[in-house]
Structure formats: C-alpha cells, structure tokens
A and B are shown apart, each in its own frame.
Chain A
Amino acid sequence: MQESLSAPIATVPAREASRLRVQSPFARTMRRLLHNRSAQVGLVIISLLVLVAIFADVIAPYAYDQQIRQSGLRRRSPPCIHLLGCDRDKPQLLMGLDGNFRDLFSRVVYGSRLSLQIGFLTTGAAILIGTLLGAAAGYAGGWADNIIMRAMDVLLAFPSLLLAIAIVSVLGPGLINTLLAVAIVSIPIYARVVRSSVLSVKEMDYIAASRALGASPLRILFVRILPNSLTPVIVVGTLGIATAILDAAGLSFLGLGAQPPTPEWGLMLGEERNSVFNAPHLVFFPGIAIMITVLGFNLLGDGLRDALDPRRKA
C-alpha cells in the first residue's frame, strides 16, 4: 500500500516537479499581477508618473511660479511647439501660457508631485486609522464593535465629497485641511474592510493554536491576525488613491483646497475655468493629467483585485 502510493510521486518528471514546487503566495500573486493586462498598463502609468514627479526639476523648463514675459507673448498664449512648425524665435511652450504668463507644461509637471503626495498621504493616513478601528471592532466585538461601526455608518451616511466640503468649511480652505478632510471621509471604508477580514481570520485554527500557546491578545491581533487580514485593504487602498486624488482635485477646483500659486491640477482648472472658450488648452491639459493619474491607480487596483482573488484564474 505504502509503495503503491509513493510510486507515482517518484515518477513525476523533473521539469514537472519544479513546476509543482510550492510557490510562496507573494510570488504567485506577483506573477499573476504582472500577467494582468490592467495591472500592466496601470503600473506603467504610475511608474512614469513617479519618474516625472522625481525628475520634475529636470523635465520642467521653467519653475512653476516663473512668469515668462517677452514681446509677442500674450497672456494665455496657445501651445507653441517648434517641431510642429511654431516660430523658432518664440520660446517653446508645450502646453501654452496660463493667465499669469506661467508655462503650463512646467506647472503640470510639478503638479504630479502634489497629486501623488495627496493620493499617498491621505490614503496612507486613512488606511492606518481605518485599520486600527476596524481591527479593534472586529477583534474585540461586543459594544466596542457596535460603537465603532455605528460611528463609521454615520460617516458613510454622507456622500464623501460633500462631507469633505463640510469639514473644509469648518477647518477653513487650504491644502492641509483638504488632505485631512479627504482622509477622514475615507476612513470608514477601510474600517469596514478590515473588520470583516479580521472577523474571518479570527476563526482560523492557527489563531486558536496561538491562543492555546498563551500569546497575548495584542500579539495575536497584531502579529497573527492583522498581517493576514490586509490583502483586501491593498486593493481598496489602490482604488482609494484614485478617489482621493479626484476628491482633492474637486475641492481645489471649488477653491477650497490648494491655494494659488500652488501647481495643483484641480486648482489650475478652477482658476482658468472661465477661459475655456478662448484658451481651452488651459483647461484641457490639467484635466488630462488628473485623468491619466486616476486611470493608472484604477487599472492597478483592478489588476490587484483579479490577482489576489483566489477564485479567479491566473
């Protein structure tokens, strides 16, 4: 009996065996992720954006607040690209001039820094607080769970952008307050995700084993449960970065967020929204920049969800 069982295993060809070798979940996920079309496109977009943000000083021909005053250059001049036959005597302006004689291209390039920071900072803060709240609720259960989750329900009762607007109206307009507001309104999403994840992990056998071995509740929560509950947060967080960037841009567009002369894409749009008919380039390019950035995070988030979902095929 013993022999007949072990025989087939021994005859597995070497090549086959190497394929059967246990792959770590991380490696498996990464492989799936890199084979996912959405994730590929998303990763390329985000990598390019990060590069643009890092090398903004090198890429941007002018400083973001530098005024270019020259004869023949009017306020809100359209783009002038030498390769496309623009007069070589004029300075090259890839996206034209804005209402304050500033090079729009340079401002859009510098804006990538701000938008990425906004996305990562607000989402990071929201995940941190949301995870702690959700973990506490899910692990403790009982009245703590009830209080925390009902509070989260109330926050979710407001459309997120409107709550953010209300918070900013209290704190006063400004970039920092906008970041705070956008972070606060996204906390409940992460709290919910982490709580439900903790609830399912909590029932696993290895947690019972840990408890039997005498591990302290805090150790069980932070070392055993949380690291195994964070997978869904990665997906929701990636998509959350996209939403955070959009919401912050919206607040800045309304004049409640970043203040001039900050090169924030939403603010740039808001400042020039009345010139859409005579200088459409001033509205077009910052919007495209927001769209591409948000698209990158959305695609990566979709790809991550597919790669991390064990029910889907690689």
Chain B
Amino acid sequence: MARFLVRRLLLLLPVMLGILLVTFVLVRLIPGDPCKSMLGERATEEKCDAFRERFGLNDPIPVQFVRYAGNVLQGDFGVSIKNGRPVTDVLAERLPMTMELTFFAMLFASVFGIALGVISAVRHNTAVDVGAMIFANVGVSMPVFWLGLMLAYVFALALKGTPLQLPPSGRLTAGTDLPSLLKVWGMEDAQGLQRFMVLLISNSVLLNSLIQGKFNVFIDALRHLILPAVAVGTISLAIIARMTRGAMLDALTQDYVRVARAKGLTERMVILKHTLRNALVPIVTIIGLQIGGLLSGAVLTETVFSLPGVGTQIVDAITARDYPVVQAFTVLIAVIFVVVNLIVDVSYAYLNPRIRVS
C-alpha cells in the first residue's frame, strides 16, 4: 500500500506541473500586449515599461514560467487588476462558498443516488425500477442552471406561504450579521498561511456561525443552500443511481448472496450487509468521479442563486479581464480536482487490493 501511495504521489508531480504550464500558457496566449490588456488601452508607454519591468515581462519565457511556478507554490497569486487586492484574499473569500455547495450537493447525490439505485435493483423490472431509471435518464440530461431556476420558481413562488418555501437567492437573509472570525479572535494583523486559513473558516458561513454559536444564522445558511445543492447534485444523483443499480444487480447474482439467503438471513441483511457492501467499490469510484461535474455545476448554479462563490467570481473576472484572478481560480480548482481524484484512487486501492498490484 505504501509503495502504491508513493508511486501515485510521484505521478501527481508531472500533472501539477502541467496544470501550472497550461494556466501560464493560457494567460500568455491572450491576444495583444499584456500591458494593454492589463492596464487598459490608454496606458502610456512609460507606464507599460514600468509594468513590464515590475512583472518581469522582459525576461525570457522559461524564466517567467519558473518565477510564476515558484510564486504559486508559495501561495502568491499576485494582485487582482480590478481592485488591487491580493488574489489569495479573494480565494479565501470565495472558495468556502463553493466548497460548501459542492459538499452538500455531493451528500445529497450520494445518499439519494445510492438509495434509489438499491431500491431499483431490489425491485428489478417493476414499475418502481422503470420509473427510477426514467428519472435517472432525464436527470442526467437536465442543464443544471435550468433546474436551479425551476426549483427557485417552485419553492420560492409556487410554494410561497407553505412550510416548504425556500429562499431563491443569496447566502443569508438580508440584514443577517456574521462578523469575520479575524475580528472575533482579534487576529486582524495575522499574516500568510495563518490569515488564509482563518479567512477560509471565517468565510464558510456554516462553520463560522457554528463556531460563534449563532444557530439561527446556521439554519438560515442551510436553508439558502438547499435549492442550489439539489440543483447541482441532481445530475450526479442520477449517475450514482444508475451505477448503484448496475453494481447491485451484478452483486445479487453472486454465490455469497445465495449463501447468505440460504443460511436464513433476512432480506434486509442480505441486501445491506452482503450485497451493498460488495457493490460499494464501483459506487465509491463513480462518486469520486462526480467531483469535476459538481464543481462545474456549482460554478453555473452560483450565478442562478447569486451566491458569492468561485463561479460568480470567475465570471466577473473574465468580464473585467482580471487575469490573475482567473488564473488563480483555475489552478486551484484543478488542484482540488486532482487531489480528490487521488483520494478516490487510493481509497479504491484500499477497498480492492487487486488494484495495487497492477
């Protein structure tokens, strides 16, 4: 296992390098003078010279790349062109929202996807099964942003006045006050990694409100997350349901299931303890593979629900041609994506020892 882990980690290095290279090249590919695209069309020649000198744009490209990679590895993504803030601060501000959304979407998709798949497999070829699979087919075909808008319509307007009414936009109800943890803990002058971590926790509204013991804010934040999480998670739910059904149907034909039934176990035990447990390996893999789709879905859904996350920030940054921000977010999401895939691979190898050998 240890050797497998080391090999897998070593394989990560070229991919990480590739991510840096791609993001570096992407920004270099922007047509036109980087100075003009960064400082605006009316920048004077003097200003441009100073700009090139400051950002080392006169150096050879390989030197520039090494400097860029070095900066990123030290957690320095430069400053936003739009407002001059360190990009790291923007990251710490926006990332928690997207992480919360992705997490709850994944939770929703996994729990209901596995449940639906198991029920489908147990009731194989009945109306329940057919209905569930039709739902799964439709579910994978829905545009996330459209589902989000439809949910907003149903739960904020059609169900208005009922207990099912849910807020259609924003992170918290307007006027809700939640001070930054930097203030609460008196760490306003913290620097570097410490500041970044505190900001990350502080900007996760759920964590922050729990830490400060403001449970009404916590509940409010959760309610604001339900519709977006359902919208983001539905495609994955459908995929997981299909995969679970297939894996369960395979597992149900195995001899150990017959043995389990023969020795008189209840059907419930047979399904949950013997069949599902063995079907879990492919299911865990498919859940891990959803992370890319979920992150992409989160980006689209934040726009629908006006949530202050990575997605809305990227779109804003693109419109404002704020390249350091676009670059930083792209690097970060790719790294998260790669690391999650690594975790999935490793857990897969842990669950299924045969993988480690090959």
Q: Closest Cβ of chain B: how far from A128's Cβ, in Å?
A: 22
Given contacts A157-B338, A160-B292, A256-B318, contact A276 B141 (CB under 8 A): no
B304 touches A170 (CB 8 A): no
A157 touches B315 (CB 8 A): no
Contact with A along B160-181 (1 / 0, CB 8 A): 0000000000000000000000
Report the nearest A residue to B25, measured CB to CB. Answer: A170
Instruction: Report chain A residues within 8 Å CB of B23.
Output: 166
Assembly CA distance A150 to B295 (angstroms): 23
B153 touches A162 (CB 8 A): no
Q: Closest Cβ of chain A: how far from B183's Cβ, in Å?
A: 33
Give the number of residues in A that approach B within 8 Å (Cβ atoms).
48
B326 touches A166 (CB 8 A): yes
Q: Closest Cβ of chain A: how far from B11's Cβ, in Å?
A: 9
B26 touches A284 (CB 8 A): no
Assembly CA distance A249 to B147 (angstroms): 13
Given contacts A159-B295, A162-B296, A165-B318, contact A276 B153 (CB under 8 A): yes
Instruction: Report chain A residues within 8 Å CB of B21.
Output: 154
A158 touches B330 (CB 8 A): yes
Report the nearest B residue to A253, measured CB to CB. Answer: B145
Instruction: Report chain A residues within 8 Å CB of B318.
Output: 165, 168-169, 173, 256
- Among the interface residues B29, B31, B318, which one has the most CB atoms of the partner chain A within 10 A? B318
Instruction: Report chain A residues within 8 Å CB of B31.
Output: 172
Report the nearest B residue to A152, measured CB to CB. Answer: B18
A250 touches B27 (CB 8 A): no
Contact check: which of B140, B144, B337 meets A157 at CB < 8 Å? B337
A162 touches B299 (CB 8 A): yes
Question: Of residues 54 to 89 in B, which have CB atoms within 8 Å of A's CB atoms?
Answer: none
Binds B, one of A13-21, A63-71, A97-105, A286-294: A286-294
The A/B interface has a contact count, at CB < 8 Å, of 138
B138 touches A159 (CB 8 A): no
Query: For the complex, is A123 an interface residue (Cβ under 8 Å from B)?
Result: no
Given contacts A249-B143, A295-B141, contact A159 B293 (CB under 8 A): yes
Query: For the complex, is A246 an interface residue (Cβ under 8 Å from B)?
Result: yes
Question: Of residues 136 to 156 in B, which have CB atoms within 8 Å of A's CB atoms?
Answer: 137-138, 140-147, 149-150, 152-153, 156
Assembly CA distance A295 to B333 (angstroms): 29
Instruction: Report chain B residues within 8 Å CB of A170.
Output: 26-27, 29-30
Q: Closest Cβ of chain B: how far from A213's Cβ, in Å?
A: 35
Instruction: Report chain B residues within 8 Å CB of A295.
Output: 137-138, 141
B150 touches A287 (CB 8 A): yes
B137 touches A299 (CB 8 A): yes
- By secondary structure, the A interface counts as helix
Contact check: which of B146, B156, B296, B317 meets A290 at CB < 8 Å? B146
- Among the interface residues B22, B293, B326, which one has the most CB atoms of the partner chain A within 10 A? B22
Assembly CA distance A246 to B235 (angstroms): 12
Instruction: Report chain A residues within 8 Å CB of B157.
Output: 277
A291 touches B141 (CB 8 A): yes
Report the nearest B residue to A246, measured CB to CB. Answer: B143
Query: For the complex, is A129 an interface residue (Cβ under 8 Å from B)?
Result: no
Report the nearest A residue to B22, measured CB to CB. Answer: A154
Query: For the complex, is B115 an interface residue (Cβ under 8 Å from A)?
Result: no
Instruction: Report chain B residues within 8 Å CB of A160.
Output: 292, 296
Assembly CA distance A159 to B291 (angstroms): 8
Question: Of residues 132 to 184 in A, which have CB atoms within 8 Å of B's CB atoms?
Answer: 150-151, 153-155, 157-163, 165-170, 172-173
Contact with B along A260-278 (1 / 0, CB 8 A): 0000001001100100110
Given contacts A153-B15, A287-B143, contact A159 B292 (CB under 8 A): yes
Given contacts A157-B334, A158-B334, A165-B318, contact A298 B137 (CB under 8 A): yes
Assembly CA distance A141 to B19 (angstroms): 24
Query: For the complex, is B192 an interface residue (Cβ under 8 Å from A)?
Result: no
A266 touches B299 (CB 8 A): no
Instruction: Report chain A residues within 8 Å CB of B293.
Output: 159
B146 touches A287 (CB 8 A): yes
Query: For the complex, is B303 an interface residue (Cβ under 8 Å from A)?
Result: yes
Q: Closest Cβ of chain A: how far from B28's Cβ, in Å?
A: 9
Q: Closest Cβ of chain A: how far from B186's Cβ, in Å?
A: 37
Question: Of residues 229 to 268 in A, which have CB atoms within 8 Å of B's CB atoms?
Answer: 242, 246, 249-250, 253-256, 266
A157 touches B19 (CB 8 A): yes
Given contacts A157-B334, A277-B156, A283-B150, contact A290 B315 (CB under 8 A): no
Instruction: Report chain A residues within 8 Å CB of B291.
Output: 159
A154 touches B18 (CB 8 A): yes
Instruction: Report chain B residues within 8 Å CB of A91.
Output: none
Instruction: Report chain B residues within 8 Å CB of A269.
Output: 143, 145-146, 149
Assembly CA distance A166 to B334 (angstroms): 11
Contact with A along B316-328 (1 / 0, CB 8 A): 0111000100100
B300 touches A250 (CB 8 A): yes
Contact check: which of A154, A242, A292, A298 meets B19 at CB < 8 Å? A154
Query: For the complex, is A280 an interface residue (Cβ under 8 Å from B)?
Result: yes
Contact with A along B263-295 (1 / 0, CB 8 A): 000000000000000000000000000011101
B299 touches A294 (CB 8 A): no
Assembly CA distance A294 to B141 (angstroms): 5
Instruction: Report chain B residues within 8 Å CB of A255.
Output: 315, 319
Assembly CA distance A159 to B18 (angstroms): 14
Report the nearest A residue to B303, measured CB to CB. Answer: A254
A153 touches B27 (CB 8 A): no
Query: For the complex, is B314 an interface residue (Cβ under 8 Å from A)?
Result: yes
Q: Closest Cβ of chain B: how far from A71's Cβ, in Å?
A: 29
Nearest first, the 9 A-B pairs at minimum CB distance are A154-B18, A287-B146, A161-B296, A159-B292, A295-B141, A294-B141, A169-B318, A166-B330, A159-B296
**Interchain Cβ contacts under 8 Å between A and B, 13 examples:** A154-B22, A158-B22, A159-B334, A161-B296, A162-B296, A165-B315, A167-B26, A170-B26, A170-B27, A253-B303, A255-B319, A269-B146, A283-B153
